[in-house]
Amino acid sequence: MLLSPHPSIKMLASVTDVEEALMALDAGVDIVDLKNPAAGALGALDYSIIEAIVKSIDARTTVSATIGDLPMDPALILAASKTMLATGVDVVKIGFFGNNFHQACLNALAPLAEGGAKLIGVMFADQCPDMQLLAPIAQAGFYGVMLDTAYKNGSHLLEHMNCQQLNAFVVKARAFGLEVGLAGSIQLSHIKELSSIEPSYLGFRGALCEHSNRTSRLDVVKMQAIKKMLE
């Protein structure tokens, strides 16, 4: 299972290989998220790497994976999601970029969700996210929704949406029965403010890395510090 009904805020850590995945597992991370930060906001890892990570984690914690920064083409999104699910990950994260063809993609993905696949729709705070999309995401049977940033240019989540707006997002998502996560270059200094909104989980990459560079290696000390703060 991915998340309990948020008795505490969970920690998602994005990793790029088996070594980083095991570091995250040892640090007590709740969700080990498989992503290639060098390939965009939701860059996908090679399937062989994903399968190796799934095997190494061996069901000891939840594993999620992104399908890549793909255009909103229903056939393409569906095929990528099916292939990702076949690797054995627990959860598949799908980016809803821009403002077009979202409903068509949801219609294509609904049978996967109805069949038991755990899907998370990722919306982007720096692309004027449409709150009206939450209802269709829930109606399509998605497990959850997440707010992230599409452009990794040094800006962070709170530069694009304030706490009041983020709180409205979390409350509305929960009203539709969705688990809800927040990410987007979140730093240690943001955790207290974002925790007050009580999302299901917070997602991290750059804040966990050496030199705070999202494409560098994970730093286990930073990972442990954030995990402890969330606890």
Catalytic annotation on 222?
A: no
Region of 71 on the Ramachandran plot (φ > 0 left; ψ -120 to 50 alpha; else beta): beta
Cα 193–Cα 198–Cα 202 angle in degrees, nearest 5 = 75
What is the number of other CB atoms lying within 10 angstroms of the CB of residue 169? 23
DSSP secondary structure, 173-212, as one string: HHHTT-EEEE-SS--GGGHHHHHTT--SEEEESGGGBGGG
Catalytic residue among 10, 93, 152, 222: 93
Picking from 154, 166, 91, the residue whose alpha carbon sits closest to that of residue 123 is: 166
- Residue 32 identity (one-letter amino acid): V
Catalytic annotation on 192?
A: no
Q: Dig out the tokens for 56 from the structure.
A: 């190494």
Catalytic residue among 10, 35, 118, 152: 35
Q: Active-site residues: which are they? A: 35, 93
